[in-house]
Amino acid sequence: MGVERVEVIAPKPQGTIPDEFIRSENEQPGITTVHGKVLEVPTIDFSDPDEQKLIRQIAEASSNWGMYQIVNHDIPSEAIRNLQAVGTEFFELPQEEKEAYAKPLDSDSMEGYGTKLFKEFSDGNVTKKGWVDHMFNKIWPPSVINYQFWPKNPPSYREANEEYAKHMHKVVEKLFRLLSLGLGLEGQEFKKASGGDDLIYLLKINYYPPCPRPDLALGVVAHTDMSIVTILVPNDVQGLQASRDGRWYDVRYIPNALVIHIGDQMEIMSNGKYKSVLHRTTVNKEKTRISWPVFLEPPADHVIGPLPQLVNQENPPKYKTKTYGEYVYCKLNKIPQ
């Protein structure tokens, strides 16, 4: 098997967790979470007929928060339920069946079933890990899909993911247009700068099994997303946290809402006007948390930098221009950008 999965470790009868999952005190959610207060990130009605109001809300939330939730987004509830059902069913399969879709250890691709993603770091002699397993699949455009990593069981996995991608495509087109207009750009500018029709939708299923010590562990450590934008749906188990004024808060769960994260590439393209959000994930003692983020990414060889329209003598470029592949390599290997 090569890598011990978190969902294999989780059921072991023990009152604690292995040392590699215990975070330092300045990360432990039991210490660092603001308890008793849920963060009300902006909630935006995506169907609002007042487009100018919608543009303003999206721009303000992207600038001041970097995270918001959109409701009335026209992705049918059934499509979300089906996506979540097949993902949950996959992770409930026998371990050996899931391992058939494991990401090869020597692969540069993110696709497949796996456990670790970011380069792990050492605290003394202990390598730290997140309490999470995952599955990555590219779901759009059709030209980049590799069905080798799409589970054949449950049988409806492909249909549910393709249906979700079809609806997601409409949301993305509208969101990118609103983000462009919010900075006074032509409506297609961010789409063009992101790779146009070659924009990749990378779906990740995060699977966080019950954890005996959720006060000590994190599912995913504090980070900003490498993507342009991330669009996420979780199950109903609390876990998403955002950093606000240097403190960590639970983000309120809204059924069927899409959680929007502004990613690093959008911050770069907007020359810092839109802010990539710092967030992390906690785990639960009794319940399994699962989330389905879709990372909107340019092709690896696509060059990303501040848009020329947003740069002038008073606002010089704040970020380097480089290919997305170069950016990802540096971030995953913790090389300064």
- 223, 287, 318, 322: which is the annotated catalytic residue? 223
Q: What is the pLDDT of residues 263-304, one digit of tens each?
A: 999 999 999 999 999 999 999 999 999 999 999 999 999 999
- Would residue 167 show up in a list of annotated catalytic residues for this protein? no
- 225, 250, 261, 275: which is the annotated catalytic residue? 225
Query: What is the CB-side half-sphere exposure of residue 199 using CA atoms within 13 A?
Result: 24
Judge contact between 112 and 90, C-beta under 8 A. no
Take residue 133 and report the two structure tokens written for it.
Answer: 């397993």
Continuous H helices in 21-120: 29-32, 51-64, 77-91, 95-99
Query: What local confidence, expressed as pLDDT, does residue 121 receive?
Result: 52
Q: What is the pLDDT of residues 100-129, one digit of tens each?
A: 999 887 777 889 999 876 555 545 555 789
Query: pLDDT-based confidence at 213, cuts 50/70/90?
Result: very high
Q: Write 79-84 long-range contacts (CB < 8 A, 24+).
A: 79/160, 79/163, 79/164, 79/167, 80/164, 80/233, 80/256, 82/156, 82/159, 82/160, 82/163, 82/164, 83/160, 83/161, 83/163, 83/164, 83/233, 83/292, 84/233, 84/235, 84/290, 84/292
- Would residue 279 show up in a list of annotated catalytic residues for this protein? yes
- 134, 279, 302, 331: which is the annotated catalytic residue? 279
Query: pLDDT-based confidence at 336, cuts 50/70/90?
Result: confident
| 10 has pLDDT over 90 | no
**Domain extents for the chain?**
6-298
Percent over 70 (pLDDT), the chain: 96
Percent over 90 (pLDDT), the chain: 86
Q: What is the pLDDT of residues 139-186, one digit of tens each?
A: 999 999 999 999 999 999 999 999 999 999 999 999 999 999 999 999
Query: pLDDT-based confidence at 94, cuts 50/70/90?
Result: very high
Closest CA to 230 of 68, 45, 34: 68
Mean pLDDT over 87-100 rounds to 96
- Would residue 35 show up in a list of annotated catalytic residues for this protein? no
Q: What is the DSSP letter of 171?
A: H
Superfamily of chain region 6-298: B-lactam Antibiotic, Isopenicillin N Synthase; Chain (2.60.120.330)
| 13 has pLDDT over 80 | no
- 129, 204, 261, 302: which is the annotated catalytic residue? 204
Take residue 194 and report the two structure tokens written for it.
Answer: 């992101």
**3-class state of residue 43 by DSSP:** strand
Mean pLDDT over 180-206 rounds to 97
- Would residue 169 show up in a list of annotated catalytic residues for this protein? no
| 3 has pLDDT over 60 | yes
